[in-house]
Structure 1
Amino acid sequence: MSDASLHPPRPTVFYGWVVVFAAFLVMLTGFGAAYTFPAFFDPLSESFGATRGTVSLVFSLAGFLYFLLGAVSGPLADRLGPRPVVGFGLACVGLGLIAASFADSLAAIVVFYGIGIGLGVGFSYVPAIGTVQRWFLAKRGQASGWAVAGIGIGTMAGPPVAAWAIEHLGWRGAYVAFGIAALVLGAVATFLLRGSPDSMGLQPDGVPVPDHKGPRGGTARPEEVPGLALGAVLRHPAFWRLYGGAALACLGTFVPFVHLAPFAQDQGLSHLEGVWLVGLIGVGSTLGRFVLGGLADRLGRGRALGLIVLLTGLTLLYWLVAVGFWALAVFALAFGLFYGGFVALVPAFTTDLFGLRAASAVIGVLYTSVAFGTLLGPTLAGWAFDTTGSYIWPIVICAIGCMLAAGIIVRLPHRIYS
């Protein structure tokens, strides 16, 4: 009997990249649905006679929920595996959008869209991105960047596609169409996810399994996985410094997603031009996730993350002086580039710091800091505009928050577990 028959050839494509693609679909589905919101901003405002601050609350509450719920979905995925948790989340996205099409008040939109998107992304995002961390070590930043590129593609395509759907189907029909698409894509993504490489007889980055482990490798017990348990992480001051930095950075991160289109219309641009500007954030974001994640693997993920947050703050200050479509397009692309890098690096850097043992749970708890920034930033910016007729002070405050966050992040250690 030949050696080839004793040792069947390994797949030419490491399954970790299939997991990256599945996570990409999760991000595309959940965040693509969430970031269609700018296209619905005016139709909802006109249908229900609501102010900018009130309509902004719809998005802010959804964002608050989906980042807050990571603290629940992360530990749940560590215990049950990612597939049932992610599947439940993406079903909530699709059904929530379909239910929103029947809303007869803005309060009903808050309930259906807010709970549907909030629960849906909250139960799918952290488990999916946490799973990617388990499949990679040396290429963790690159893999994370490619996975969360789904957010960038969703941001890029979602608003203009939603604007087209609203024009042809009305906003209610558009919600139904997006809901059905979310259910289909969500089913595919859930089917492809696998919890860890050792469950398939593999190791991170596709490194061959040592012969003594046998053909299936064997699943490591939690205490054998490198890193700190969740309780130990929560007792470490480095976690709370990172938590505060993420909260400050995210105070302004989601303001452009909600208010860039209305800001552009205040300058005399059309509703469609405003929607396209939000789409350009997605273009920049996609580039940032693909390029900056891999670059940070070589430069150092902590240092790169701090620099990206600082540049985000400077870009927000540029927004104040950007006049006209092309100047705002430069802002949208630059902001998207750094936003994409931030989203790609936060889970990778967090795993570098605290290890894999409770990766999904730690990332989930960390993202509750993002929840508060998401709730406060867009809502306060909308209320400030309703009160003063200007976005100046909200943008300045958000930029300062990013600069303070950068100072906190660059002072963090690179690793705290042995």
Structure 2
Amino acid sequence: MKNEHSAGLSGRIQKRAAEIFAEVVALRRDIHLHPELSYEEVRTTALIADYLLGQGITPESPLLETGVVAMISGEHKSNKGKVVALRADIDALPLNEENQHGFCSLESGKMHACGHDMHTAMLLGAAKILSEMKDELEGDVLLVFQPAEEKAPGGAKPLLDAGLFKRFHPSVIIGQHCFPNVETGKVALCKGSFMAAADELYFTVTGQGGHASAPHKSADPVLAAAHIITAVQHLVSRVVPPHEPAVVSIASIHGGNAPNVIPRQVTMSGTMRTMNEDVRSLLQDKLRQTVEHVARGLGVEGEVEIRKGYPVLFNDLAVTEKAETICGEYLGTENVLASEPLMTAEDFAYYLQECPGSFWQIGTGTLQYEKGNTLHSPTFNPEERALEIGSGLLAYAAVRLLQSI
């Protein structure tokens, strides 16, 4: 149950979030109309900086070429240098939008299909609310508008390497992500390992090309590639402990261009997802061995390049428990759900390696399932009412966390 203080605070923030809802929607649609890919978010960066300046918030000197970092300094007498960081990602995806609404992407081959336009607008709305409450803030709020979440190496690690946390010393960091499978008005949280480590896999199988009518005079990389695809599936079922989540998927294969020619080389690519760094290392070693041994047994050469991606996203247990309480105060406990771990990946994981925090799902879906309304889909279409909820929730969470850390 809410106590009298938190009920009054949440009510005031909910009222303000409703009052600025149209403004936040306009921001989101502007960003959606003009999507920019990872490391190219120049216009979006300028929009964010201009809006913050309009709220009396001065952006800090840039740490990267794109993205914005800014601080809202609390003025409450109990301010003792406490800092809560709020993060939003700002980049779009390389695909063509297929929605029919009136603010579809104007940029061919670019679309905000993962909700980063929503995340950015929500944090801008929260910044406006918090800037009006500076005299109540029992600490400072660090706003992190991060570039390049969608493309490795991402924007989080470069920001950290550039000194983000060494400069601003956050005590807690919070982030939220749109999810269409969660109903608008609800959030879902997961304690501990929430999102997977993601590694990209690039295979090369090299044999001896020749005429398809005389395969005995060749060393067939196509046949070997097929055996490798089958063989690597045993890694999850026979190498990984049954209680540990893991995925190995081969998603593309390319080789040859004629029906009567055995090619010299086949290339493949795929992904590996794990929820445990020890299992991750084990799978990487076993994958290399499997590819090399299967290929050698079939008279060809096989190798795999493993490009390590984002680490496991681990939500701090204590912070996530606080977040559950805070979300319940703001939304009602019936609207706070428990999320199962997901095999998707997020570079927010890097922040959580350096600072306790929590990353949750904010609902953007409806009761009725809408086909095609999924993340990374050209028809992803989040419910905009979530902008009001997300703006207010971020602001409320920042205030309440500053009171409790």
TM-score by length of 2: 0.23
Greater relative contact order: 1 or 2 (C-alpha under 8 angstroms, separation 6 or more)? 1
Which structure's residues are more often helix, by fraction?
1
TM-score by length of 1: 0.23
